Amino acid sequence: MLTKGKVSGIISNLVIVDADGPVAQNEICRIEHEGTKLMAEVIKLNRNQAFVQVFESTRGLRVGSDVEFTGHMLEATLGPGILSRNYDGLQNDLDRLEGIFLKKGEYNFPLDEEQAWEFKPLAEAGETVEAGSWLGEVIENWIPHKIMVPFKFSGSFTIKWIAEQSSHRVHDVIAVLTDSRGEEHQITMVQKWPVKLAVKAYKAKTRPFKIMETGIRVIDTLNPIAEGGTGFIPGPFGCGKTVLQHALSRQADADMVVIAACGERANEVVEIFTDFPKLIDARTGRKLIERTTIIANTSNMPVAAREASVYTAMTIAEYYRAMGLKILLLADSTSRWAQALREMSNRMEELPGPDAFPMDLPAIISNYYSRAGFVELNNGKTGSITFIGTVSPAGGNLKEPVTESTKKAARCFYALSQQRADSKRYPAIDPIDSYSKYFEYEEVKDYMARNISPDWVDQVVRARDTLLRGREAQEQINILGDDGVPLEYHVRYWKSEVIDFIILQQDAFDKVDRTSPIARQKYMLGKVLEIADREMKFKNFDEVASWFKRLINSLRQMNYSKYESGEFYNHLKEVDQMLIEIAEL
């Protein structure tokens, strides 16, 4: 028998319920309100009182309202039909909610219950299986969507019966399993999983070893993210976080992209809704929306569901990872989630930590980041979740609790710099402050040596050094004046500007420049290093500046031209001509 209760107190979306039986921490309950039921999660228990956070506005709610506990935590519904969907934080299918405005207490089943899928068995009767084993597959968009033994099943099972290749709806039974005690379990194409728990149905989590291409030079070349790795992008507002996240979601080399739009602007999600059905994924020739799932809990939607939205997104990613797929998970912005935690902690009158955030914030964040990763499945196949979150530090100050906690958890740090954004040097990722820990991984280095070029790491280090030397030279010039430094300082500074303009800066709104495949990145890095290595003689610093400006102009035209096109080579010729001229001086 499920526990019932009555509302005894209301403070905004924190509701106190007097329960008549056992209640679990994080259990979901439903509060009766004007003919609808408001969903809420238990966040604290005190004797028979349950403190629940309601995922909706509590306006009009009265003391004495009936409450019904469900006996389970917040769960994601997993099955074919998740791709291309737009969900809210509780996994309601937004497209199937009626009306322009969201109505209180309206929930729907996240999958299409009527759609027929062509089920193809991958296992046979008599086989021994465990949680996560592939029983069969259906084709979803173009992804072979595996129907698995539910993650909740523990121990090993024998397949008693499995359906032949045939058409099925999600709730149809497609297999019957027998457990060790001889009990039978019917399997459908749908399973549920509590979003706050990590799916562990794999053999091992291994160290990431290959890089995930994003087409963004400052990431791929200078601060590569590994497939199955984690990264975060902190930056003040107006520094291009969103443009960068959108570029990643469009271009990254992933089978599936899950976007958790958490507490951010609705119009940014609308941009994805509008563009992705039109844009083509260059790798597969398919529309981007076909590989994308969006979890939208925008800043005006109920605050309590923000937390749910990031967990729902992670659970969906884990589900698809278990099919042996390469998932990119983006969350914009994890700070909004942390703020939601803060609001609730405040209402519960907990003792606050730094900046009034809850004390366990670092643990919550690191626990979340740890769910990403490269895994070896029980059947020997591999899958990965690469996770990149954005952080919106208050006042642009990176010493605030969310940024600091995330820095401990994430392996790549893409610091957006206000100064670069102000001078319109986009993407505004600071080349000196940012880092990728994966650059130190022997396996990753080895992978780059084999797949890009043997001296790749060495080249990247040289590019970084050139930037650093350029920055030092610039500081000296600023202090001592153009005349006060040797001419060599000007040359050094301008060589770093070449790398800045040609490698770091990238026009996200230009059709060609917005994405740069690794082969092209390799070519351009080679070219700018060739320039950086040249001995150059100039008469005066005016000449240095004007020569390099012309050079940068031609190199930029190369970036704007289709790779290896006639136009591209014409501009290359201009560049080479200039290099010959300078050598002859």
Residue number with CB closer to other proteins (167 or 570)? 570
Q: How far is the CB of 381 from other proteins (least distance, A)?
A: 34
Burial string for 124-137 (b: 16+ CB within 10 Å, else e) reads eeeeebebbbbbbb
* Separation CA 297–CA 414 (nearest Å): 24
Residue number with CB closer to other proteins (14 or 159)? 14
Q: Using the 8-state DSSP alphabet, how is residue 32 labeled?
A: E
Question: Which of 133, 214, 245, 392 touches other proteins by CB under 8 A?
Answer: 392
Helix (H, G, I), strand (E, B) or coil at 148: strand
Which of the stretches 72-80, 202-210, 309-317, 389-397 binds other proteins when contact is defined by CB under 8 A?
Answer: 389-397
Q: By C-alpha distance, which of 497, 514, 509, 515 is closest to 555?
A: 497
Amino acid in position 448: M
* Separation CA 334–CA 318 (nearest Å): 18
Q: How far is the CB of 486 from other proteins (least distance, A)?
A: 16
Q: Does the CA dihedral 379-382-383-384 come out positive or negative?
A: positive
**Taking a C-beta distance cutoff of 8 angstroms, is the pair 529, 474 a contact?**
no
**Taking a C-beta distance cutoff of 8 angstroms, is the pair 18, 65 a contact?**
no
Q: How far is the CB of 268 from other proteins (least distance, A)?
A: 9
Binders of other proteins among residues 340 to 359 (CB under 8 A) are: 340, 342-343, 346, 352, 355-356
Q: Is 394 in the site for other proteins (CB under 8 A)?
A: yes
Question: Which of 4, 6, 10, 109 touches other proteins by CB under 8 A?
Answer: 10
Question: Which of 24, 97, 123, 198 touches other proteins by CB under 8 A?
Answer: 97
Binders of other proteins among residues 269 to 328 (CB under 8 A) are: 269-271, 273-274, 296, 298-301, 303
* Separation CA 148–CA 133 (nearest Å): 5
Applying CB under 8 A, the site for other proteins has a residue count of 76
Residue number with CB closer to other proteins (151 or 276)? 276
Residue number with CB closer to other proteins (115 or 540)? 540
Residue number with CB closer to other proteins (187 or 544)? 544
**Taking a C-beta distance cutoff of 8 angstroms, is the pair 291, 326 a contact?**
no
**Site string (212-251) toward other proteins, x via CB under 8 A:** ------------------------xxx---x---------
Q: Is 57 in the site for other proteins (CB under 8 A)?
A: yes
* Separation CA 390–CA 310 (nearest Å): 12
Residue number with CB closer to other proteins (162 or 498)? 498
Q: How far is the CB of 533 from other proteins (least distance, A)?
A: 24
Question: Which of 28, 61, 218, 377 touches other proteins by CB under 8 A?
Answer: 61
**Taking a C-beta distance cutoff of 8 angstroms, is the pair 531, 505 a contact?**
no
Q: Residue 133: phi, psi to the nearest 5? A: -65, 145
Binders of other proteins among residues 473 to 512 (CB under 8 A) are: 481-483, 509
Q: Is 11 in the site for other proteins (CB under 8 A)?
A: yes
Q: Say how many C-beta atoms besides its own lie within 10 A of residue 500's C-beta.
A: 21
Residue number with CB closer to other proteins (382 or 505)? 505
Cβ contacts of residue 236 below 8 Å, gap of 6+?
A: 393, 395, 396, 416, 418, 421
Residue number with CB closer to other proteins (8 or 284)? 8
Residue number with CB closer to other proteins (21 or 352)? 352
Binders of other proteins among residues 104 to 163 (CB under 8 A) are: 104
Binders of other proteins among residues 512 to 541 (CB under 8 A) are: 541
Q: By C-alpha distance, which of 411, 420, 359, 413 is closest to 391?
A: 413
**Taking a C-beta distance cutoff of 8 angstroms, is the pair 402, 410 a contact?**
no
